[in-house]
Amino acid sequence: MTSRYEAVIGLEVHTQLTTSTKIFCGCSTAFGAPPNSHTCPVCLGLPGALPVLNRTVVEYAIRAGLATRCTIAPRSIFARKNYFYPDLPKGYQISQFELPICTGGHMEIETTAGGRKTIGITRIHMEEDAGKLIHPGEGSRFSHVDLNRAGTPLLEIVSEPDMRSSDEAVAYLRKLHQTVVYLGICDGNLEEGSFRCDANVSVRLRGAEKLGTRAELKNINSFRFVKQAIEYEIERQIDLIESGGAVVQETRLFDSASGVTRSMRGKEEAHDYRYFPDPDLVPVIVSEEWIQSVRGTLPELPDAKIERFASDLGLSRQDAEVLAADRALADYFEACAAAHNNPKGCANWVMGEVIRVLNESGQTIASCPLPPENLAGMVKRIDDGTISGKIAKTVFLEMWKSGKKADRIIEEKGLRQVTDSGAIEKVVDEIIAANPEQAAQYRSGKEKVFGFFVGQVMKASKGKANPQAVNDILKQKLAQD
Amino acid sequence: METTGLTIHEMRDLLDTGKISAAELTGSFLRRIHELDTRINAFIRVTKEQAEEAARRADRRIREGNSTLLTGIPLALKDIFVTEGIETTCASNILKGFVPPYDGTVVRRLREQDAVFLGKLNMDEFAMGSSNENSAFGPVRNPWDETRVSGGSSGGSAAAVAACMAAGSLGTDTGGSIRQPASHCGVVGLKPTYGRVSRYGVIAYASSLDQVGPLARDVEDCSLLLQAVAGYDPHDSTSVSLPVPDYRGSLKNGVKGMRIGCPKEYFIDGLDADVIASIRTALDRYRHLGAEIVDITLPHTDYAVACYYVIATAEASSNLARYDGIRFGQRIDDGGGLIEMYRNTRARGFGAEVKRRIMLGTFALSSGYYDAYYLKAQKIRTLIREDFAAAFDQVDAVLTPVAPTPAFLLGEKMDDPLQMYLSDIFTIPVNLAGTCAISLPCGFSAEGLPIGMQLIGKPFAEETILRAAWAFEQEAGIRKGPPL
Ligand SMILES: [Zn+2]
């Protein structure tokens, strides 16, 4: 039944910017301070206070616009969005309406089928965040208002209704998340609300031109919930239409506990926000020079990085994507590969042991105790045959714990690999002599026991024998008899 | 009349030569307020102790030889200026009990000079009104005739200066709120160009029109007060970073060769005969002083009042949304929940005129009406601005009446808001154009009520209109106080 229908999805994302001060006053944006300690007459909306625009917010908006191939407006306007709510001190939110700073961009996503798809970006605009209500719970008639967050800068990034499935929506959202974090304009923290998503969802018969009536889904604060909420909503709308009903244009709240969306009708419905240009602020003028100077500071974005890792450094596309997914991880890898020219070898260690140990210890790449140069030093010793890959794991953990460099650990612990064939031959001879039964099995064609011999030799050499040399000598000695 | 009847520049000489102390001067004003203000009702709050303390500071500074123009001068502020530690109400019940934690820029600049603040002045609630009858603290009475209005919204600011209860005052002017009461009370009032004076710490009525300005006993005092408060302020994005000229220094340069425009659209039906006569006399005086009088046209004048009542109320409907009972001022909570609390607080906290304007403005911005009202009004505003730009290609200043009639009777227009709105017909276009204008006494009516004239200048040409006003004031010699 689903296949008769097609979903049409557009996303509105609110990204909290990482400027140190608020958008219209000098108060700190730091998270977690005591309630109302980061406030002043401006962000409290006291009578007589006036907003003054933080230029860094404009710069961040330009960054986001350039990264998503938007047109940056030479002149944009702040507008007031009027509504009453206790967390909104002025009774209006300063936002942008008719003339936003960025319009008409796009981003490429990868579809589950492995193809690429372009998602249009309608607009990006700057606005201020509201405060927070704290409800003490049962027994209290009152709620408390914390205005620390009021006036924190946000970018609202609105996509075209170009997505056709929950998977595409999530792919777009992940791409956007990656981009704003890469740009250094948002910390991307979904739990703290730094990256929030509303989804507009409608369905129509496949092939139909006209869009169906849409519902706006709010309060979705993880990638998983976006997928759940959209899938639930698509199914709900199709069921409704199939049973002869009609979708109503409304705002619906996603309840992550039950996985369903619920109508908010009667609550925040039917708002007339009475937008009009804010007379307290002058138009935002962005010169071509400003745009160019911001362009000059843009970091390399994931797509370009993946391309470069694959074509210049010879990584597989898959590895390049894993490394480029996180800017800090990519930087770590690049520092490592710069210190030792074996990108593939470095990449394997970064994606393998480094990520594994970080995850185990609950750390992030930003706080990784192992400098990339030290990791490179170890990979170098594997490549020049000083240690085996197996011994390297021991060296790696020791570097991680002690902060010592690989060479020092190899020397101190005597981990240098034995490549002297005379010494290895001696051990091999001893092992064969001690295991005549297995030797006979091997010779009778049961080649599986070869692994047993390798293991015994390595054990006897405490792992320091060069595995290749052990292989060669064993083969040769077992063949003789 | 003792020292309270002097001008600021006269007081300055007495203070700096040690003939009088700031403490004595402040004492005289406080006594006069005590004697007179039960009749006039110009003050909402007299800040006696703070004034005496400031006077002592000023005296120390004068003794040290560090006085500036306004050191020790007793002034008063319209209750629209937020003042740190002093209750600020905007003459509204909804703000009763609100003690701001900060000073606005203009207040700070005056404090830095050690000017003395005698108190907070009465006004129309949230600056909405033309008679000062829309005040939660009762109307201000005209010192020339206590049965008449002071004008508004800066009625207290004009009456206090006229009645010598303050040496000078600050008001705000959104559609004539400095100039019209100045005219009705026989004092000088200046509305500077939009952006000339910071609005930071001035409670907003209509943000694109509001401007702070001085009211004073003569033109020179007006120039001194403007000098003290004008200039760019990083806290107000709409303030302009042009240098502030020496207004007082160029006062006496005369009007020889100045071209003064007389717009035919301002001589409307219903214009009081005494007002017409005074304006004609003023034009003659200017001719006599060597100025050239030029007939000009400001063709969109007729639309100004309608345009103003859309734009100003639209902005006000949004500016006044913050009075919600949540964070400051009055909260009326009968336990019926959030929406009920909003409803009660605003229904009982705001006066009738404020509510009327909030509703008008909300309507003008509503979906489906925005284009027909707000957007149309913005277009008309542009035409009015262009009218003035074209006129100023021909002339240096424009001379008009300030109000169609002298001060009307208390209660006369309270039941007819439209008639009340029309009393600002000559002042509103200046705010819409964003330029500057001064109101100064130019004669008296048959009943002995003061009549004012308005000189409108090019944007940021306050110097020109102050100079023209000073020349007239010297020539006419009509300065006198009310019969108190
Ligand atoms: Zn603040």
Task: Find out whether B441 and B186 touch, Cβ atoms under 8 Å.
Answer: yes
Q: Across residues B164-184, what is the average pLDDT? A: 98
Residues A52, B237: C-beta atoms closer than 8 Å: yes
Burial of B277 (0-12, 13-18, 19+ CB in 10 A): middle
Element at A421 (helix H, strand E): helix A421-434
Is residue A20 helix, strand or coil? coil
**Closest by Cα among A164, A178, A167 to A107:** A178
Q: What percent of chain B has pLDDT over 90?
A: 94
Interval B94-122 mean pLDDT: 97
What band does A448 get if pLDDT is binned at 50, 70 and 90? confident
pLDDT of residue B43: 98
> Do B324 and A84 count as a contact with CB atoms less than 8 A apart?
yes
Say what the pLDDT of residue B410 is. Answer: 97
CATH fold of A421-478: Arc Repressor Mutant, subunit A (1.10.10)
Residue in the block written with tokens 């911001």: A294
pLDDT band at A385 (very low <50, low <70, confident <90, very high): confident
pLDDT value of residue A316:
95
In the predicted structure, residue A18 carries a pLDDT above the cut 60: yes
- Which tokens sit at A59? 């710069």
CA–CA distance from B245 to each of B192, B292, B463 (Å)? 13, 25, 8
Better pLDDT: A388 or A73: A73
Q: Which residue has the higher pLDDT, B453 or A423?
A: B453
- From residue B327, alpha-carbon distances to A27, B323, B330, B349 in Å are 18, 8, 9, 14
Q: What pLDDT shows up at residue A238?
A: 95
Q: What letter represents residue B136's amino acid?
A: A
Question: Residue B116: its pLDDT value, please?
Answer: 98
Q: What is the pLDDT of residue A447?
A: 82
Asked if A244 is an interface residue toward chain B (Cβ–Cβ < 8 A), one would say no
Are the C-beta atoms of B158 and B122 separated by less than 8 Å?
A: no
pLDDT in tens, B197-240: 999 999 999 999 999 999 999 999 999 999 999 999 999 999 99
B54 contacts B116 by C-beta, under 8 angstroms? yes
pLDDT of residue A141: 78
pLDDT at A372: 96
Minimal-distance CA residue of chain B relative to A88 = B322
What's the longest Cα–Cα distance across chain B?
70
Instruction: Check A276 against B318: CB less than 8 A apart.
Output: yes
> Is A164's pLDDT higher than 60?
yes
Q: How confident is the model at residue A219 (pLDDT cuts 50, 70, 90)?
A: confident
**Distance in Å, alpha carbon of B196 to nearest chain A alpha carbon:** 14
Q: Is the pLDDT score of B3 beyond 70?
A: yes
Closest CB to B207: pick one of A47, A89, A279. A279
* A48 neighbors B203 (Cβ within 8 angstroms): yes
Average pLDDT of the residues of chain B:
96
Number of cross-chain residue pairs from A and B with Cβ atoms under 8 Å apart = 99
Q: What is the pLDDT of residue A265?
A: 67
Residue A383, Cβ neighbours under 10 Å: how many? 13
Nearest to A84 among B201, B202, B342 (CB): B342
pLDDT at A163: 97
Average pLDDT, chain A: 92
In Å, what is the CA distance from B385 to each residue of B176, B241, B311, B459? Answer: 16, 21, 14, 11
Q: Would you say how long chain A is, in residues?
A: 481
B residues 79-98 closer than 8 Å to A (CB)? 81-82, 88, 90, 95, 98
pLDDT of residue B417: 85
**Vertex A27: Cα angle to A22 and A32 (nearest 5):** 90
Confidence at A439, pLDDT banded by 50, 70, 90: confident
How many Å is the maximal CA-CA distance in chain A?
100
Listed residues: CB within 5 A of ion ligand 1? A 25, 27, 40, 42-43
**Distances from the Cα of B159 to the Cαs of A367, B27, B353, in angstroms?**
69, 19, 22
Angle among Cα A173, A176, A180 to the nearest 5 degrees reads 140
Report residue B2's pLDDT band, with 50, 70 and 90 as the boundaries: confident
pLDDT of A477? 86
* Model pLDDT, residue B1: 47
At B107, the pLDDT band (50, 70, 90 cuts) reads: very high
Residue A409 has a pLDDT of 93
Q: Looking at the whole model, is its pTM more than 0.80?
A: yes
> In whole angstroms, how far apart are CA A479 and each of A251, A467, A469, B484?
78, 18, 15, 130
| Pick from B127, B140, B122: nearest CA to B212 | B127
**A65 has a pLDDT exceeding 50:** yes
Contacts of residue A481, Cβ cutoff 8 Å, sequence gap at least 6 = A439, A443
Q: Is the pLDDT of residue B452 over 60?
A: yes
Is the Cβ–Cβ distance between B219 and B227 less than 8 Å? no
- Which of B123, B318, B328, B358 to mutate to test binding with chain A, by most A CBs within 10 Å of its CB? B318
Tell me the CA–centroid distance for residue A271 and ligand 1, in Å: 27
Any chain B CB within 8 A of the CB of A134? no
Query: Given pLDDT bands bounded at 50, 70 and 90, which one contains residue B407?
Result: very high
Identify whether the C-beta of residue A39 lies closer than 8 Å to the C-beta of residue A33.
no
Q: What is the pLDDT of residues B247-275, one digit of tens each?
A: 999 999 999 999 999 999 999 888 999 99
Percent of chain A residues topping a pLDDT of 70: 98
Average pLDDT of span A438-465? 86
* Nearest chain A residue to B95, by CA: A47
Bridge partner residues of B456 (DSSP):
B398, B437
Q: What is the pLDDT of residue A285?
A: 98
- Which residues lie below 8 Å from residue A14, measured CB to CB, with a gap of 6+? A129, A154, A155, A156, A157, A195, A196, A197, A198
Model confidence at A386: pLDDT above 90: no
Q: Place A398 in a pLDDT band, splitting at 50, 70 and 90.
A: very high
Question: Is the pLDDT score of A266 beyond 60?
Answer: no
Per-residue pLDDT at A247 = 93
Q: Where are the domains of chain A?
A: 5-290, 300-412, 421-478
Summarize the confidence of residues B278-290 as an average pLDDT: 97
Q: What average pLDDT does range A350-372 have in this prediction?
A: 93
Indicate the pLDDT class of residue A270, thresholds 50, 70 and 90: low
Report d(CA B349, CA B322) in Å as an integer. 13
pLDDT band for position A480 (cuts 50, 70, 90):
confident
For the segment B91-103, the average pLDDT, to the nearest whole number, is: 97
Radius of gyration of chain A (CA): 30
Give the distance, in angstroms, between the CA of residue A213 and the centroid of all CA atoms in the same chain.
Answer: 32
Q: What is the pLDDT of residue B207?
A: 98
**β-pair partners for A103:** A71, A123
ipTM: 0.96
**Residue B430: burial class (beta carbons within 10 Å; 0-12, 13-18, 19+):** buried
pLDDT computed for residue A114 by the predictor: 84
Residues of B in contact with A279 (CB under 8 A): 206-208, 238, 315
